[in-house]
């Protein structure tokens, strides 16, 4: 791609940036871009190109696999490229291999009896973030609309896969600063969608969905609002959910639900709260687009 140099004052010069590149990286007038010289080449990036981050964890005793996963997940979502785990005795290699497979793009690149080196081969494509968020919305939509026909095994499979997509998406949001001023809102959208998936998997397991199914139209409207970046529609969904919650909070209504849906009522109130939280974050992100 060729660009002409335009004289600027006595000692400066400017070039124009391709508009497609500017839009792809959500850049606005006044934003900073970064220049990096490498021999005769000049690279322009929308974000500062940091060196790959690495971290070594030295365990004084062998922790549980759940604790190891929590540590790896935290570093993974924070954008670390290489993670080294060193154990006081022989590492649980088979279990670690299974654990690492639950993350997108992570691979064990070397190991010794007491040490494992994990590397991330993920790229940082800003467009992929939106694709993953849409995938999470679609998963919840599918589960909500098939609560009575999905079996427990399939529900659990979606729950496990959603956790994997969540971690991948949170890493991209962190490393690409997706959304700019509303990065946290995108972060919360992703974690809330994963929590909703987990709750729906539990509903499927208990084979009770009559009450929970009444929330599906509101999620459906919220999903549409997110896809269309429609702030007005997302606010309408939020207001509707608020009115429903106020009605549900009345003591008589709670007694009716508890008597008619003794198992399901707990899931219903949790999901109602999750949808309200999701709606508030969708409002923030759609307002930015308008």
What average pLDDT does the segment 248-272 reach? Answer: 85
pLDDT digits (tens, 9 = 90+) for 167-180: 999 999 998 888 88
Q: How confident is the model at residue 24 (pLDDT cuts 50, 70, 90)?
A: confident
Q: In 233-268, which positions are buried (b, 16+ CB within 10 angstroms) versus exposed (e)?
A: bbbbbbebbeebeeeeeeeeeeeebeeebeebbebb
Q: Percentage of the chain surpassing pLDDT 90?
A: 68
| Predicted pLDDT at 14 | 82
Per residue in 27-78, pLDDT tens? 777 777 767 665 567 777 766 555 678 999 999 999 999 999 999 999 999 9
pLDDT at 214 over 90: yes
Q: Where are the domains of the chain?
A: 6-45, 54-120, 126-289
pLDDT of the residue at 252: 66
Per-residue pLDDT averaged across 259-283, rounded? 93
Mean local confidence (pLDDT), 7-33: 76
Going 107 to 189 to 249 to 211, the CA torsion angle's sign is negative
Most confident of the ranges 5-9, 38-42, 229-233: 229-233
* pLDDT at residue 39, as a whole number: 59
Q: Which of 18-32, 158-172, 237-251 has the highest mean pLDDT?
A: 158-172
Long-range contact pairs involving 233-238 (C-beta distance under 8 Å, separation at least 24) = 234/279, 234/282, 234/283, 234/286, 235/283, 237/279, 237/282, 238/276, 238/279, 238/280, 238/283
Mean pLDDT of the region 110-130:
91
Which CATH architecture does the domain made up of 54-120 adopt?
2-Layer Sandwich (3.30)
**pLDDT digit string, tens, across residues 140-194:** 999 999 999 999 999 999 999 999 999 999 999 998 888 888 999 999 999 999 9
Higher pLDDT, 251 or 133: 133
**In 10 A of CB 191, how many CB atoms?**
17
Average pLDDT, the chain: 90
Pairing of strands 12-14, 6-8: antiparallel
Q: Which of 275, 149, 135 is nearest to 203 (CA)?
A: 149
pLDDT of residue 50: 54
Greatest pairwise CA separation for the chain in angstroms: 81
pLDDT band per the 50, 70, 90 thresholds, residue 289: low
Which of 142, 146, 186 lies closest to 161 in space, CA to CA? 142
Tell me whether the CATH fold assigned to 54-120 matches the one assigned to 126-289. no
What CA–CA distance (Å, rounded) separates 36 from 48? 9
pLDDT confidence band for 254 (50 / 70 / 90) = confident
Q: Which two tokens stand for residue 163?
A: 């956790």
Cβ burial, residue 146 (10 Å; 0-12/13-18/19+): middle
For residue 6, which phi and psi values (nearest 5 degrees)?
-110, 125
126-289 folds as Methane Monooxygenase Hydroxylase; Chain G, domain 1 (1.20.58)
Residues 73 and 136 sit within 8 Å (Cβ to Cβ): no
- Residue 246: both structure tokens together: 């106020």
**d(C-alpha 95, C-alpha 5), whole Å:** 57
Q: What is the pLDDT at residue 76?
A: 95
Cα-to-chain-centroid distance, residue 103: 13
Task: List b or e across 217-226, with b for residues whose CB sees 16 or more CB atoms inside 10 angstroms.
Answer: ebbebbbebb
For 192-207, what is the mean pLDDT?
96
Mean pLDDT within 70-89: 96
């Amino acid at each position: 791609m060729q660009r002409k140099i335009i004289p600027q004052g006595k000692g400066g010069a400017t070039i124009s940036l391709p508009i497609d590149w500017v839009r792809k990286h959500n850049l606005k007038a006044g934003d900073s871009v970064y220049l990096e010289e490498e021999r005769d080449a000049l690279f322009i990036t929308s974000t500062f190109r940091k060196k790959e981050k690495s971290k070594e964890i030295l365990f004084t005793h062998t922790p549980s696999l759940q604790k190891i996963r929590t540590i790896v997940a935290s570093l993974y979502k924070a954008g670390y490229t290489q993670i080294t785990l060193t154990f006081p005795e022989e590492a649980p290699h088979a279990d670690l291999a299974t654990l690492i497979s639950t993350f997108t793009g992570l691979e064990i690149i070397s190991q010794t009896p007491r040490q494992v080196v994990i590397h991330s081969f993920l790229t940082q494509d800003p467009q992929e973030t939106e694709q993953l968020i849409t995938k999470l919305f679609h998963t919840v939509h599918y589960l909500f609309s098939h609560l009575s026909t999905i079996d427990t095994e399939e529900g659990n499979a979606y729950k496990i896969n959603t956790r994997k997509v969540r971690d991948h998406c949170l890493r991209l949001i962190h490393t690409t600063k997706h959304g700019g001023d509303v990065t946290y809102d995108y972060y919360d959208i992703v974690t809330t969608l994963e929590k909703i998936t987990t709750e729906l998997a539990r509903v499927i397991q208990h084979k009770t969905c009559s009450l929970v199914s009444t929330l599906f139209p509101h999620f459906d409207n919220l999903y549409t609002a997110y896809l269309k970046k429609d702030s007005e529609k997302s606010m309408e969904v939020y207001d509707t959910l608020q009115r429903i919650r106020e009605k549900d909070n009345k003591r008589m209504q709670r007694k009716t639900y508890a008597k008619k849906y003794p198992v399901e009522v707990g899931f219903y109130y949790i999901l109602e709260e999750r949808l309200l939280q999701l709606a508030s974050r969708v409002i923030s992100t759609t307002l930015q687009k308008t």
